[in-house]
Amino acid sequence: MKARMVLGLIVAMAVWAVLLTGSAVAAPTLGSIFSFSRVEADPQKDYQLTEQQGPWMILAATFSGEGADDQARELVLELRRRYKLPAYVYKKRFEFGDDANGRGVNQFGQPNRWVYRSGSEIEEIAVLVGEFDSVDAAEAKETLKEIKYARPEALDLKKKKHTNQNLASLREIYKAKLEEGAKKKKGSMGQAFLVRNPLHEGPVASTGVEPFVAKMNEGVEHSLLDCPGKFTVQVAHFAGAVVVDQGEISKIRRGEKALTDSQLHEAAEKANRLTEILRRKGWEAYEFHDRHSSIVTVGGFDYVGTPRADGKIEIHPEIFRIIETFKGVPITPGGLVSPKRIDGIHLDVQPLPVEVPKRSFGASQARAPLRGLW
């Protein structure tokens, strides 16, 4: 029986996110960023996302499991009431089908079968903020910065015995390993990032990488810039040596400070080594390097999924297989995940479909960062 695998447009937020250049101007308060002065917060309304909210949004948090709907709604109302931000709810259902072919064959020569740990169907809920016309809009950048450091009560683990926010426990473990003082700065939405409104059907201009970045990738045997597809699956990213200070991390992410040559060299070496290993194992692997990091991806595809009549997206079977092969392994009943390693190199906990970057035809064209598809 042919496998039916459906990918929603929501993915784990603890993976590599879209990182934008921050403004040098002091950040205003959350509510003052928007041109409108009043944001409705009516408990009787559900504030479902529509295509009218504009082409760009900020993905603040995602939820799943029993109680996810209530917690998402609570966060939306708090963002609207307390922070004066236009927040919305977006739901998507994952259907993985009845069966799926795995990699390799069994002792009878038949394809191995995938077994779904959590059943063949789950629902995830995203909370999105804003109504931005452009990914480069100043208000979008400032709002994103503020959301990362906001501390809504709806996501406060100290006040709640249980949370449905995806990867919340994993983030707490990471924070505990940071130096005292640094871990206090970012809030529970610290992994927020800019995304397309999944309901918006208008086109978005695609720009190529800047000439400097293109030059960094010259001579790379398996450069992602040479991938023939429009989409690929990111399985690992590297940023050189570990940076603990949150202030330094923020500067690097906003492009205000670059990694040192030695850090970039270390990241590039890991990406190149992993790419070669995956190639030897038969995977169509690519590497890509920019000013701040290096990534490794697998595959090249013209599309991620096919829309169905019921509004769901049927994921490309090969993309699904790549994600299942390289994603992390659960280590606790609470959902903590350990990344896989290949030859001592850590992979991403959650592989992501991303757009393939292209070379720019204009020397003045600005780089468009890889955008995760959620």
Q: What is the pLDDT of residues 274-322, one digit of tens each?
A: 999 999 999 999 999 987 789 999 999 998 888 877 777 788 999 999 9
Task: Say whether both 198 and 258 belong to one domain.
Answer: no
Question: Which ranges of the chain have pLDDT less than 70?
Answer: 1-37, 94-122, 159-184, 202-208, 240-262, 333-335, 360-374
For the chain, what is the domain count?
Answer: 2
Range of the domain at 125: 1-204
The predicted structure's pLDDT at residue 136: 72
Task: Say whether both 279 and 194 belong to one domain.
Answer: no
End-to-end CA distance of the chain: 28
Contact of 235 with 346, CB cutoff 8 Å: no
Task: Say whether both 43 and 153 belong to one domain.
Answer: yes
- Of 155, 173, 204, the last residue of a domain is 204
Task: Say whether both 71 and 176 belong to one domain.
Answer: yes
The predicted structure's pLDDT at residue 163: 54
Task: Say whether both 4 and 152 belong to one domain.
Answer: yes
- Of 145, 177, 204, the last residue of a domain is 204
What does the alpha-carbon distance between residue 198 and residue 118 come to, in Å, rounded to a whole number? 25
Task: Say whether both 250 and 200 belong to one domain.
Answer: no
What letter represents residue 271's amino acid? Answer: A
Q: What is the pLDDT of the chain when averaged over all its residues?
A: 73
Task: Say whether both 284 and 226 belong to one domain.
Answer: yes
Q: What is the pLDDT of residues 66-96, one digit of tens each?
A: 888 899 999 999 999 999 999 999 988 755 5
Task: Say whether both 4 and 131 belong to one domain.
Answer: yes
Tokens 């609570």 sit on residue = 74
Task: Say whether both 178 and 224 belong to one domain.
Answer: no
- Of 182, 204, 226, the last residue of a domain is 204
Task: Say whether both 25 and 162 belong to one domain.
Answer: yes
Task: Say whether both 236 and 281 belong to one domain.
Answer: yes
What does the alpha-carbon distance between residue 273 and residue 169 come to, in Å, rounded to a whole number? 31
Task: Say whether both 103 and 10 belong to one domain.
Answer: yes
